[in-house]
Amino acid sequence: MQSQKKIEVARQLSQLLIRSADLAKSFFASVSESLEVPPHLAMAILLLEEPAPMGELSQKMARDKSYITQVADQLESLGLLERVPGEDRRTKLLALTSEGKKLRLKLAEVAGNQSPIMTALNEEERALLSNLLSKILG
Amino acid sequence: MQSQKKIEVARQLSQLLIRSADLAKSFFASVSESLEVPPHLAMAILLLEEPAPMGELSQKMARDKSYITQVADQLESLGLLERVPGEDRRTKLLALTSEGKKLRLKLAEVAGNQSPIMTALNEEERALLSNLLSKILG
DNA sequence: TATTGTTATACTCTATAACTATA
DNA sequence: TATAGTTATAGAGTATAACAATA
């Protein structure tokens, strides 16, 4: 393939990728906002199916631990989670309250059923997409 | 498909999508930084193959015009572009200087050849991915 | 000494609102 | 009145650095 053409292919595909991810994000943002939680709090809730140490959430969200402290503070003040003692006394587990769990279910249901990924693609296409993306991620 | 399972599929695929887009972004960021331009300036340069009014760049980058003003200021102070008069006297065209054009070529070459999208997928796979993503974007 | 989490603070990206000049 | 661009400013999201408690 010619060099100039290659550039265009790469650029357009990158743009498609970024726009799709933006769509997924903004879909998730609108779901969260309809449930009156900011998106990053909603994402944390979704990831806390089981109580987990803050460091673990930091990894899963790919955010600094100091930011997780702030997220946890906000969720706590909304009554959606509690910090409970962990194995060793430095560790704190983030555990959803019953209200947090309720919210998690609602969030998961809407996000699972109405996501553009679910509505636009059938099962086979989703599997295909999953493979291609995994390949990119190496 | 069961509801709980569906949720997991949607979440995992969204995560894959977002992580792939993040990879594309951070690849581009590292390319730009190796050429000593911040990524958003680099993206503007890439999009300015031909001189274009600021409003057009605003659309292509999906950013507010006031932000484009700031981007243009920075590129101008780096000697990478000039504002030249457009058709009517309100309009200004953003035109790369010769140094800007040189940089654009380097940028495009590396981004086109070494992008994870290009290295991880073959031509057929890229076409497939492009279709799936277009479907999601509707 | 290394690890978990916290605090205070500052930075980056980007938008909003009010404006100027031109159409 | 509508459009292109500018200015000044503010906000959201996130990180850095120094710290405390525990291991």
* pLDDT computed for residue B5 by the predictor: 74
Chain A residue with CA closest to B134: the answer is: A16
Instruction: Work out the percent of chain A whose per-residue pLDDT is above 70.
Output: 96
Contact B136 A20 (CB under 8 A): yes
Reported confidence tier of residue A12, pLDDT bands at 50, 70, 90: confident
Mean pLDDT computed over A112-128? 92
**pLDDT exceeds 70 at position A129:** yes
Residue B138 has which token pair?
A: 């509707």
* pLDDT computed for residue A1 by the predictor: 62
* pLDDT computed for residue B86 by the predictor: 92
Interface test with B, best of A7, A104, A114 (most B CBs within 10 A): A7
Reported confidence tier of residue A119, pLDDT bands at 50, 70, 90: very high
Reported confidence tier of residue A4, pLDDT bands at 50, 70, 90: low
For the segment A51-92, what is each residue's pLDDT rounded down to a tens digit? 999 999 999 999 999 999 999 999 999 999 999 999 899 999
Which one of B8, B112, B133 has the shortest CB-CB distance to A16?
A: B133
Reported confidence tier of residue A120, pLDDT bands at 50, 70, 90: very high
- With a cut of 70, list the residues of chain B below it in pLDDT: 1-4
Interface A:B, Cβ pairs < 8 A: 151
Residue nearest to nucleotide D8 (CA to C1'): B66
- Which nucleotide's C1' atom has the smallest distance to the CA of B41? C13
Return the closest-CA partner of residue B78 out of B102, B62, B60, B109: B102
Q: List, as ranges, residues 34-93 from A with C-beta within 8 Å of B.
A: 46
> Per mean pLDDT, which range of A9-18, A102-111, B100-109 is the poorest?
A9-18
Mean pLDDT computed over A24-49? 93
Contact B11 A46 (CB under 8 A): yes
Reported confidence tier of residue A22, pLDDT bands at 50, 70, 90: confident
Neighbours of B5 (CB within 10 A): 10
Cα B46 to Cα B61: distance, rounded to the nearest angstrom: 11
* pLDDT computed for residue B71 by the predictor: 98
Return the closest-CA partner of residue A111 out of A16, A17, A47, A19: A47
* pLDDT computed for residue A66 by the predictor: 98
Show the CA angle centred on residue B135, arms to residues B130 and B138, nearest 5°.
Answer: 125
Q: What's the mean per-residue pLDDT of chain A?
A: 92
B45: chain A residues, CB-CB within 8 Å: none
Residue A118 at interface with chain B, using a CB cutoff of 8 Å: yes
**pLDDT exceeds 70 at position A37:** yes
Which one of B3, B128, B134 has the shortest CB-CB distance to A132?
A: B128
Q: From edge to edge, which strands make up the β-sheet containing B81-85?
A: B52-53, B92-96, B81-85
